[in-house]
Structure 1
């Protein structure tokens, strides 16, 4: 959806107009394309960078018991696409392999010049769970360990889909929408909540959201211990769960692009070291053209709750 279409839609829907106005404020009326106060994770020293999709710092601090030293960091982005554009676009990452459960890099491959040594799209046919409408965390860990064997002298970025919607980590049920079923609605859960299309208690949403992170953490820890070296666990962005936005103080849900509230940009930065460091060498980027059908990418993104 282009900028003009977004603005037209916002003008027709008051709450979306408020969101658009807040975005203009946070992006300084178009003078910046990302949160310039955020950290650049690719400048840090690590062998493995684990990215938990849409994981807030406060959520991680409250739920995670992973080994290592936890700090708070600030992301440069409030969406995955922003994260990729701000951190990998046009960058030489020929010493790095990107193992990802999120199709956004493939979706935006023409506008994001990602120069990785290789990209492992876990969300393709073999890694995708049709039952859950997402990539499960144990599958991501399995692919990450395989990538470490195939590319023993590369840094690894391992992008887990959880705790991002859809909710697969809780059996909680409630009236107002079956959010465990990615086919239940054409609108993602956060858009339903934003527009008042469903009446669900925030505590119930938090239970589901927390459950998604809980579902992933044991598999993240398995990967941390198996891969060894220096690992950083972080997130591409956070998520709002009915907190007041700024400067227009309406209740915001989800992770709208270009809005940099603490709930959206405060992310975990967990450092864990175990065993010998890898010897990292750059390589010629993998130029194999395995781009999936655009319809497949669009279907995956719909299941993951991305609404454009």
Structure 2
């Protein structure tokens, strides 16, 4: 067993989980903000890199501070951010989320409790699971930032009527899938459209709609071959570009460039949020991504590695110039939170989760 494998097992195993609990983590509730934007899966060095080049939503890189996140994966972050100790803050907060883990029980993630997830409308002053209505299965399967920004602006402007004084908005970018590289990702909806694939024999279920490899373009054949390889390995790396870098399937430079483009995607929309919300707007993340540090790739739960747990903290002053006028999402006051399990599961799968 090589050093990287040993390091990974230590960092992601029981020892890592124990060390993870000892980190000086800071819940977002302990910082000052009016609107807090969670940029899912954003590494600290990525944020500083984009700040150094210059972006309207960001200050200079010297003003990109950091904090230690309470988790190394989204469900773990939710479990510790929305626990019983924070109920008073949550009651005065609107949570607008694009992350489908909000409706998962997550019994399979051993570092989470059984007290928090799934979340419900009773947990917050306002609870809006934007992913339910705004998810897009197009070139990539995700929720673009625009609908989340619209909801956050509308809720913040109606905060007095809604009885809240904070808005926490959970964007899915820069987390994969990457808009600039749709061919890397295999959302479950796209696979279902393709049906059963064979090497020229009849389809496994005899359906006339099943496709044969001969009917596919070279690009589709290549995608299926990559999918088959991922499934042979247990499926863990199918939609996770960081694991594909580890496995030599993708180059680090290519993945980093696409990752950065996804961050710029959400930051472009945060420029609009800053122009339409008065108050202190914070930007941070639930976790980063390991790129081989201590043998860790991606963002496994219960991991103490700094690349995954130390995340950006940026604060800007927003000023409402009324450059847009979105309405409150339908049903934001009385959404019952019910959704089919297969819908939630397919959306998590598109983000690289099993």
Q: Describe the shift of the 1:118–1:34 C-alpha distance in structure 2 as closer, same or farther (beyond 3 A).
A: farther
Match of 2:72 in 1: 78
Q: When the two structures are superposed, what TM-score results if normalisation uses the length of structure 2?
A: 0.69
The answer to whether residue 59 in structure 2 is matched with residue 99 in structure 1 is no
Q: Which segments of 5 or more consecutive residues in structure 2 lack a partner in the other structure?
A: 107-113, 189-222, 228-234, 321-331
For the 8 Å contact 1:116–1:286, the answer to whether it is kept is no
For the 8 Å contact 2:241–2:250, the answer to whether it is kept is no
Once residues 31 and 20 of structure 2 are traced to their aligned partners in structure 1, the CA distance between those partners, rounded to angstroms, is: 22
Once residues 144 and 129 of structure 1 are traced to their aligned partners in structure 2, the CA distance between those partners, rounded to angstroms, is: 19
The answer to whether residue 166 in structure 2 is matched with residue 155 in structure 1 is yes
Would you say how many aligned residue pairs link Structure 1 and Structure 2? 269
For the 8 Å contact 1:78–1:260, the answer to whether it is kept is yes
For the 8 Å contact 1:238–1:263, the answer to whether it is kept is yes
Match of 1:42 in 2: 29
Give runs of aligned pairs for residues 2-81 of structure 1, distance below 5 A: 19-23=8-12, 24-28=14-18, 34=21, 36-64=23-51, 65=55, 66-68=57-59, 69-81=63-75
Give runs of aligned pairs for residues 1-308 of structure 1, distance below 5 A: 19-23=8-12, 24-28=14-18, 34=21, 36-64=23-51, 65=55, 66-68=57-59, 69-90=63-84, 91-92=86-87, 93-108=90-105, 111-112=115-116, 115-125=123-133, 127-131=134-138, 132-152=140-160, 153-168=164-179, 170-171=180-181, 178-183=183-188, 185=227, 186=235, 187-190=238-241, 192-193=243-244, 196=247, 198-241=248-291, 243-245=292-294, 250=295, 252-275=296-319, 288-307=335-354
For the 8 Å contact 2:73–2:301, the answer to whether it is kept is yes
How far has the Cα of 1:262 moved from its partner? 1.5
| Structure with greater strand share of residues | 1
Instruction: Say which SS state the counterpart of residue 276 (structure 2) adopts.
Output: helix
How far has the Cα of 1:150 moved from its partner? 4.0
Q: Describe the shift of the 1:119–1:163 C-alpha distance in structure 2 as closer, same or farther (beyond 3 A).
A: same
Instruction: Say which SS state the counterpart of residue 124 (structure 1) adopts.
Output: helix
For the 8 Å contact 2:173–2:266, the answer to whether it is kept is yes
Aligned-pair Cα RMSD in Å: 2.8
Once residues 22 and 274 of structure 2 are traced to their aligned partners in structure 1, the CA distance between those partners, rounded to angstroms, is: 29
Q: Which segments of 5 or more consecutive residues in structure 1 lack a partner in the other structure?
A: 1-13, 277-284
Once residues 201 and 267 of structure 1 are traced to their aligned partners in structure 2, the CA distance between those partners, rounded to angstroms, is: 24
